[in-house]
Amino acid sequence: MDRVVDLISQRDHPQRRALTEEMHLRHLPRFAAPARLLQLVTYTADSPAESSWRHAGALLDHFGQSAPRPGKYFSARLGELAFAWEQHSEIATCTFVLAGSFVDPFAEPLLDRLPADWLAALPGQVLRATQVALLPRDWPAPGDAQMARWFSGDELVCCDVQGGEARLWSSFRVHDDGLGRLLLHDRGLAGDGDPSRLVQRLQELGNYRNLALLGLPVAQRLAPQLGALEARLAQISRAIAAGSASDESLMGQVSQLAAELTELTTAAGFRLSATRAYSQIVTDRLAACGVVRIPGHNSLTEFTERRLTPAVRTCDTMRRRAEQLAEHTSWAGSLLRMRVETALERQNAALLASMDRRAHLQLRLQQAVEGLSVIAISYYTVGILSYIFKALGHEWPRLDPGLAAGFAAPVVVLVTWLLMRRLHRSLEAR
């Protein structure tokens, strides 16, 4: 058996075990009401890959625990606290759970139980920090006075979740202690598994909501920059239509605009696309929470959609606007290239016509030269024949050299012309 295992391990894909672990949902430590929870979410996309893992391991070392195994998730027990760390694509989460009864859900934050130097050295930037308190079933329903003391702000979200098995309250604001607050009342959650899964879904909903909203400031900064580029493209298009500038100058302007647009969209493209992806995760988590609206109160669904949907649509609009501007810039460049190619074709046509005229003139000249050549060759040939006829006249007195040269002249001209024609055709055949 060991030999078979070794043989299979030798053929393992490098990512086999990592992919297997990725398919398993990493739960929060199990707990039941009453319990309190603290989750710190840090944005670590700009930090070294292992900085958050090493920092979480330093907390284990502070509490005398062994170092964690390298990976994207681990959990441990730190005295009374249950601790879980998880690394995501852009964020890392540190979750602390303290089970047991309490008098005031937010009076003694779990943050005070953590080493101050460890908190000060958190890698990345804090994107979200939330206290969660889970009230037991026998806890009396909190009144308005208690809610006013626990939550700041005028607007309080209150709704049932998990189909009515729990009730939720939150203002979704950062309070004076620097933490957000979420209060849950157990009204029928089954066992210690359901509370932890419910809290995990609610926390993931909030975390991904914040990640999705990171794209909104990018979209807002992008809007005036795209407007300026659109105005420049409109000006270039008018110049192309009017022909008021040289094609070379206009092509340079289009190229410069395309380069600036590429730089702009490259910097903002990932954030805008990530907003769309995160918003879809938020929608999925919201559906899994089983929200039930309570009349007279804002529900979690209403709060999330009212805040998140406009932001996502703004990001989508900016992304489509950038894509359309890139497409229109490409059209302007194609139009200019077509104009340049058309001008080059006209120049080539004119050049070919000029070369044709020159070739025709050269042909006429060549024909004239050939005619003169026939006459010249015939003249010298008849002259040579005259000397021959004169020499023959001494042997045959009856031979008249002048008469013989006269009869020979047409024959010489004809033969010379035929030879020249034959030579010309032979050269053309090559």
* Angstrom distance (rounded) from CA 92 to CA 43: 7
Distances, alpha carbon 114 to alpha carbons 4, 95, 413, 417, in Å: 47, 12, 121, 115
Looking at 214-246, list the stretches that DSSP marks H as alpha helix, in order from N- to C-terminal side: 215-242
Concatenated DSSP letters of 54-74:
HHHHHHHHHTTPPPPPSSSEE
pLDDT of 25 > 60? The answer is no
Q: Which one is predicted more confidently, 400 or 118?
A: 118
Contact 288, 192 (CB under 8 A): no
Rg of the chain over CA atoms, in angstroms? 46
**Out of 93-102, 251-260, 378-387, least confident range:** 378-387
pLDDT at 417: 75
Tell me: the pLDDT tens digits for 200-251? 999 999 999 999 999 999 999 999 999 999 999 999 888 888 877 787 888 8
pLDDT of 4 > 50? The answer is no
pLDDT at 8: 58
Beta bridge partners of 97: 37, 82
pLDDT at 191: 67
pLDDT at 428: 66
Mean pLDDT of 93-111: 92
**Out of 12-26, 33-47, 70-84, 322-336, least confident range:** 12-26
Mean pLDDT of 30-35: 91
pLDDT band, residue 85 (cuts 50/70/90): very high
Q: Among residues 195, 139, 206, which one has the least CA distance to residue 173?
A: 206
Domains of the chain: 16-191 (no CATH), 215-350 (1.20.58)
Average pLDDT, rounded, for the chain? 85
Question: Counting Cβ atoms within 10 Å, is residue 189 exposed (0-12), middle (13-18) or buried (19+)?
Answer: buried
Q: Among residues 322, 232, 307, 304, which one has the least CA distance to residue 268?
A: 322
pLDDT of 136 > 90? The answer is yes
pLDDT of 1 > 60? The answer is no
List b or e across 405-426, with b for residues whose CB sees 16 or more CB atoms inside 10 angstroms. Answer: beebbeebbeebbeeeeeeeee
